Structure formats: structure tokens, C-alpha cells
Amino acid sequence: MGKHWRRSWTGVFLCTLSGTVFGQKPIDTLRVDAAIVEVLRIPTPVQRAPGALYAIGALQLQNGVSPDIEDALNMLPGVKMETRGVGGSRRIQMRSSGLRSPFAVRNIHMLCDGFVLTGAGGTSPIELWNPQWMHRLEVLLGPTGAIFGGGYGGALVASSQAPFSGAKTGFRVRSMTRLSSTGRSDQTPSGLAMESGFSITESNTSSDWKLQSSWSDNPGFRDQESNQKRTLEVHKRWLSQPHILHHVWTGLLQASWDLPGSIVE
């Protein structure tokens, strides 16, 4: 079984363009009424829509031993996340949303800092998240998650940083390294899993930026259970006007997993 490599670039650039066009003749057009999509059978304001919502803070997210959000999610009723070994291939069940998704994480809408990460095919790249660098995670169970988009299982809404306040000016550097045993009987380096990373943050009254990187290597306890991941992210936030905040996020993911039973060799 070979290794499968997945590379992902995520970038968002905000730009406004205005102008006036002269000399064009009017063109006959057909005006179509706006389409309205109702999430619930009975129209209900979002603030009053019934649903189960759980909020997980940074302390709970960063207190687990797994390099993903498995430990944090498994504390919630109605949610079950499982992986093939530490950091391995992931499955998430939110009110039985994974019954028809034997591969990857499907039927769950995934957002981070307001950016939609779920692809057009319905697959959510949950491997992008490392709980050590997350500030908050909200879990919305059931069909009410359609408020954020498609996915009858619910929605995962994350924040990588604290809300921008502009009240503090400073420079912060943070790093972490963890070693753990895979459970193998041999005492060679192949029996150790490593996770490491760092972040640099600088802020002032009108803007801030953050650079963070992480990497993990796990040889696995069983054959075909090894995995490794490298991430690099740059966040830039600034205020152009009072109460108007812009956020540019650029990220790189390079990872590989041994996936027994994969449909692609």
C-alpha cells in the first residue's frame, strides 16, 4: 500500500473595485426574483432556531493528547470522532451523520474564522485543524447546522485567534513540543511520535498578524498506520474603518497517511 500525499493551498484576498462605464447601449434583460432558501420548515429567526450548541474553549482544546480535535469532540454527547491511530485517518459521527461516509469527513459543515472550508463535494478537511493553535470551537448538532451551509450532521465553527479588539500592542512568541510512545516494544526512534510547532504574533491598535507552523510524525503502532503532517499559516487582520475588519488567511498543508482499504492505490 503506497502513501497518499495531499497538498492544499488556502488563500483569500479581499478587493473592491468601483467605476463608471459610458457609451454602452442598454441590453434587454430578464429580471428574476430573488430565491429564498428556508433552513427550517417553519420560518424562524436564527436567534430562535432550536438546536444543540456546544462551545469548547482553548483550555479544553489544548488539554488533550491527540494532535487533532478528537479528545475535545468526544467529550460532547451525540458526537463521536475516531482515528486510525494517533493522527490517522479521521471519521466524525454527529447524530449518525457518518453512516454514508466510509471515507473522509462528510455531511458536516466546517468553518474557520468565517471562511468555509468544506469543499463542493461535501468533504471537510478536518486534518487542517490542530487544537494547540485554536482559540475556540463551536459545535452545532443536527439540521440546524444548515444555517451555515449544507451538512445535515451539523456544523463545526472554529476561531484560530481571539476576537480583534485593538486595545493591546505587543509581540508574542509561543512554541510547543511533545513526545509520546506509540506502544511498540522496541525502543528505537520508530517507537516515538513527535509533535512540535511555533507561533509569532504582533498586534497594535489597528491591525495584527500571526505566523504559525506545526509538524508531526507518528510511525504508528501497527503496520500501515504511520502519518505525518506539515502546516504553515499566515493571518493578517486590520481595520479599514471603525467596525470594518478585514482578514486575509493563507495556508499550506503537506501531509501523508497510510490508509488501509483506500479506494486509490
d(CA 230, CA 215): 4
List, in sequence order, every beta strand (DSSP E) within 12-66: 52-57
Q: HSE-up of 63 (CA within 13 Å, CB side)?
A: 10
- 184 Cβ neighbours under 8 A, 6+ residues apart: 190, 191, 219, 221
State the cell numbers at 160: 484560530
- CATH numeric code, 50-257: 2.170.130.10
**Residue 77 CB-density burial (10 A; 0-12 exposed, 13-18 middle, 19+ buried):** exposed
- pLDDT tens-digit readout, 86-109: 767 778 888 766 665 566 787 888
Q: What's the pLDDT at 27?
A: 65
Q: How far apart are the first and last CA of the chain?
A: 7
Give the DSSP letter of residue 186. Answer: S
Placement of cell 454527529 in the chain: 94
Q: Which residues pair with 241 in a beta bridge?
A: 244
Q: Which residues pair with 169 in a beta bridge?
A: none
Q: What's the pLDDT at 4?
A: 44
- pLDDT tens-digit readout, 177-201: 888 777 776 655 667 888 899 999 9
3-state secondary structure of 146: helix
Placement of cell 488539554 in the chain: 63
Q: HSE-up of 69 (CA within 13 Å, CB side)?
A: 28
Domains of the chain by residue range: 50-257
- pLDDT tens-digit readout, 52-78: 889 999 988 888 777 888 888 988 988
